[in-house]
Structure 1
């Protein structure tokens, strides 16, 4: 069943995904090591890697005093980290339990943040005001069916001159068979409107299991991701591809600086992530 192609309406898929992400919250509150944020200098590994790239495109190369909207923020570890880097942060997510956990983390960490419960595809309508930076953490847009609408939300949230930043799992990576003994393509790279159905009670971190195990994701090739951002009126200012991931996509991956990577002999064969920065003129 895992990875099978199915036709399903967006609302049904979204509801199944939200139930799954709601179930992940108490597991991730344990697995993410939230006690580390008691140290006022602690930043998430994701933000620590993203900041040097993102700041290249900001006034004074700093987030200090800038208004930042973090889409699909989950339990807020990256949002809190961005606030510690100086931003005035607003975290958005479609999971109420995730935002409750994020709010509790921010309070524990002594960080000011706003939290908005909304589907990312309705972010512009749900937000108050506009932003200097719109940020998306890793592991996000495969959960979205309609990337044109996603890109329109980003454009609408940004002020003129504002920057959108995303680092995410590479669609070429997602096409691989994660269980194969070698790099082998198994899943679609190109989308055709159908979702990929997964039924897996585990999550990408920790040992617990979820009650609502069925989820739906959509493959989006790089051409589509870049195309929708350009079509929405954003201008590409940075693109890069990386060799490591912050989670173990496959049991064959090994620990490496920055997370996990393929064995050394395969590391240059396939990208693990892509990074995009785009500006609203």
Structure 2
């Protein structure tokens, strides 16, 4: 477990530095400095489902360099971002210093979040795209979410669909399910010097480990830890070109399948409330 976590951390340290680049590459952070009302595409996509979050004490788990985090603050939440990458936290702090957004950032492993931030103190736990696949146990994640939330507090997550994570993106003549849909003890091992946005250099720390979690496993874990599912919407789009050669760009920074549009869910938004 330690090897997997530390290998992934090295990769995300490297990605964070590349993603925070200026001049239009990476996450395009210059846009958030230039336009103090701009929201990230990921947060904008779910803005109606988020509703009014003004004044809510919010923690954004696995916040990366903070573009979604500051977007939640711009919607009125009182936000703390948490990530295990020291480089990501450093870049996030620099970003909000430049933008003037009132956001705190904490470096911590997600499973230790309740120990670091306290239990039962948050109105909203938010998690964005591409987070759960880095965690070996969905049950431990659900326990962490439950510990962080006050009674009546809400979980909000948009994530890549486990069906999408099961597809082999390198085969572009059709949709090919080749990887485990259900959580496995041993992770899938990957080695790539690219990332999901344009960067000015290849990634150096190339190896990563990932775990899939089936939709039933996610829902059951949340129910087991005292949360009630209040919403689950599956989407036909994803905010990066997840299946190259088979997708077309649509508005809002999203991509959908081209000829096979609607054949498979690509992302989902799930909401749950702590009882």
Q: TM-score range by the shorter chain?
A: over 0.9
Q: Tell me the distance in 1 between the aligned counterparts of 2:184 and 2:68.
A: 32
Q: Tell me the distance in 2 between the aligned counterparts of 1:242 and 1:40.
A: 29
Aligned match of 1:211: 204
Aligned match of 2:134: 143
Give 3-state SS (helix, strand or coil) of 1:177's partner: coil
Give 3-state SS (helix, strand or coil) of 2:237's partner: coil
Residues 147-189 of structure 1: CA deviation (Å, up to 9, x unaligned): 1111111011111111001110001011112122111111111
The reply on whether 1:131 has 2:127 as its aligned counterpart is no
The unaligned stretches of length 5 or more in structure 2 are none
Q: Tell me the distance in 1 between the aligned counterparts of 2:90 and 2:184.
A: 36
Aligned match of 2:67: 77
Residues 196-236 of structure 1: CA deviation (Å, up to 9, x unaligned): 00000111111331111000001111111111011010000
Q: Tell me the distance in 2 between the aligned counterparts of 1:222 and 1:240.
A: 12
The reply on whether 1:279 has 2:248 as its aligned counterpart is no
Aligned match of 1:33: 28
Q: Residue 146 of structure 2 contacts residue 225 of structure 2 at CA under 8 Å; is this kept in 1?
A: yes
Q: Tell me the distance in 1 between the aligned counterparts of 2:100 and 2:87.
A: 20
Residues 63-117 of structure 1: CA deviation (Å, up to 9, x unaligned): 1111000000000000000000000000000001100110111111111111111
Q: Residue 8 of structure 2 contacts residue 208 of structure 2 at CA under 8 Å; is this kept in 1?
A: yes
Q: Residue 167 of structure 1 contacts residue 275 of structure 1 at CA under 8 Å; is this kept in 2?
A: yes
TM-score normalised by the chain length of structure 2: 0.94
Aligned match of 1:224: 217
Out of 172-181 and 224-233, give the one that drifted further.
172-181
Q: Tell me the distance in 2 between the aligned counterparts of 1:92 and 1:199.
A: 26
TM-score normalised by the chain length of structure 1: 0.92
The reply on whether 1:53 has 2:49 as its aligned counterpart is yes
The reply on whether 1:250 has 2:256 as its aligned counterpart is no
Aligned match of 1:6: none
Give 3-state SS (helix, strand or coil) of 1:186's partner: coil
Aligned match of 2:185: 193
Q: Tell me the distance in 1 between the aligned counterparts of 2:263 and 2:72.
A: 32
The unaligned stretches of length 5 or more in structure 1 are 1-9, 56-61
The reply on whether 1:269 has 2:263 as its aligned counterpart is yes
Q: Residue 71 of structure 1 contacts residue 134 of structure 1 at CA under 8 Å; is this kept in 2?
A: yes
Aligned length: 265
Q: CA RMSD in A?
A: 1.0
Q: Tell me the distance in 1 between the aligned counterparts of 2:163 and 2:57.
A: 33
Aligned match of 1:59: none
After TM superposition, give the deviation of residue 128 of structure 1 in Å. 4.1
